[in-house]
Amino acid sequence: MALVGLALAGALAMWWVRRRYLVVTVRGESMLPAYRPGERVLVRRTPIDEVGAGQVVVLRDIAHDRPGTYWIIKRVAAVPGDPAPRATVPALQDDRVPAGCLVVLGDNPARSHDSRHTGYLTADRLFGVVLRKIG
């Protein structure tokens, strides 16, 4: 009986860890020099109200027509309530970033598809904040 309880506790712990954390492999050159293609990062699920400008986040990429989940990694330029960085992202219409939205930019603008192209990214696409590189 104790063994069943221990197995259940272990399974519950693994379920919690998998819902809270994600390991993502960097693809592409949009975050050079901070993150290189092939590097892996540890990401913690984070709600939008706990994200700050300057942090690196992972968001669901909805541009793919293929099945499965694809992730993008970008740096947050502005969070809800911040002044909209219209000098960097001229397409933004608001004076302030609206609730539930982020402005994200790649560190390597020449190789990044980000808010300069798509405008605001919504909170439903946010997984979380990059904690560190792995390995």
Provide the pLDDT for residue 2: 74
Which domains are delineated in the chain?
22-134 (2.10.109.10)
Tell me which of 1-15, 31-45, 103-117 is least confident: 1-15
- Residue listed under structure tokens 């439903």: 124
Dist. CA 103–CA 58, nearest whole Å: 13
Rounded CA-CA distance 73/128 in Å is 10
Across 11-20, 55-64, 67-76, least confident range: 11-20
The C-alpha atoms of residue 119 and residue 89 are separated, in whole angstroms, by: 8
17 pLDDT more than 60: no
Tell me, what's the pLDDT at 9? 59
Peptide bond into 33 cis (omega under 30): yes
pLDDT band for 100, please (50, 70, 90 cuts).
Answer: very high
